[in-house]
Amino acid sequence: MACMEPLTFIWPGESPGTTVRPAREPEEIESRADLLLIDSRVEALWGARLSWNKPRVVIPGGEACKTHENLVKLWKSFAEAGINRESAVCVTGGGSVCDLGALAASTWMRGVGLELVPTTLLCMADACLGGKTALNLSGVKNQVGTFHPAETITICTAFLKTLPEAELLSGKAEVVKTGLIGDRKACDAILRGDCNEAVSRCLSVKGRIVRQDLNDRGVRKILNLGHTLGHALEMLLSISHGEAVALGIPAAARMGGENDLALELESTIAALGLPTRLSRPPEAEEVMPLIRRDKKTTGDGRVWVIPRGWEDCRLEMIPPDREEKLLREALKALGHDR
């Protein structure tokens, strides 16, 4: 696979731009940061090949790391390392570690420089770009967060060689999501195993959308395709983020009445090795309490991202009196026996 080309994104307002640069191997990664925050698994597998002479803080990865207790630990590490307003930190790991580390960087002394080195396909194709940071709270994903775009992001797909299959699948689900939103060729690339092209295309789509709406007040919400139900399934069933999003994408199509598109999407998702069914789908009564806490909830109802076709996804308000009925039908469709 050819190495992806560098990308540059200029954000609105006073937010710094983001440069995305490729590296073929970990040894090629350069950093100006004063402190390295690194996922514990990445440190064990690749740490010796990251030859930066910087202090390191090792963070256990996974969704469970996104707690306020770990945020406080990082603040204390920043204090011990003497991180100040002119400093930068580099976060190396998957989406959860990058969410946590970026939140710490955004809140320490009201914001210090940030570099990201994503090491999972999900983080490379989606989570690393756009400045969102997050913690989970009371069993709900990403309830606490800020916007703090990284100044540089280094994409090194060599890290994917040691990525567990389940994590690779999670990233493939995000590629399907982004391809459906804005570039079908991203899906074509991941179907033939070209991660460099898939990541490059996904970042181009996301960057184009985020440039219009950095603070997630309007069109950027389109990037939540599959996530309204997906986040609820992820937390309720303890399945991976990718599995949950893979289930949530065709469910959103069905909620919009696009049943033929849902079947086509399930075929693409299944070809990538992702699930399209659950042995026991949850009931609407189990899911609704989590969905009600979705960030796209308004006084008039909830905005859902509804795919109407490839590269044609829309933000549509579904009022409460229709939502639960449509959701019940979509959940039923996730069962094996239909």
* pLDDT tens digits, 272-283: 999 999 999 999
Helix axes 227-237, 284-291, angle to 10 degrees: 110
pTM: 0.94
Q: The domain 219-333: what is its CATH number?
A: 1.20.1090.10
Question: Can you tell me the mean pLDDT for 161-188?
Answer: 96
Query: Percent of the chain scored above 90 by pLDDT?
Result: 86
Query: What does pLDDT average to over the chain?
Result: 94
Query: Percent of the chain scored above 70 by pLDDT?
Result: 98
Would you place residue 2 in the very low, low, confident or very high pLDDT band (cuts 50, 70, 90)?
low
* pLDDT score, position 337: 56
* pLDDT score, position 292: 86
- Cα separation, 59 vs 71, in Å, equals 11
Q: Are strands 35-39 and 56-59 parallel, antiparallel or unpaired?
A: parallel
Question: Can you tell me the mean pLDDT for 142-167?
Answer: 96
Q: The domain 7-163: what is its CATH number?
A: 3.40.50.1970
- Cα separation, 275 vs 69, in Å, equals 33
Q: Is the pLDDT of residue 3 over 90?
A: no
Going by C-alpha positions, the residue among 35, 36, 39, 91 that lies closest to residue 65 is 39
* Chain centroid to CA 257: 26
* pLDDT score, position 22: 96
- List where CATH 1.20.1090.10 sits in the chain: 219-333
- List where CATH 3.40.50.1970 sits in the chain: 7-163
| DSSP 3-state of 180 | helix
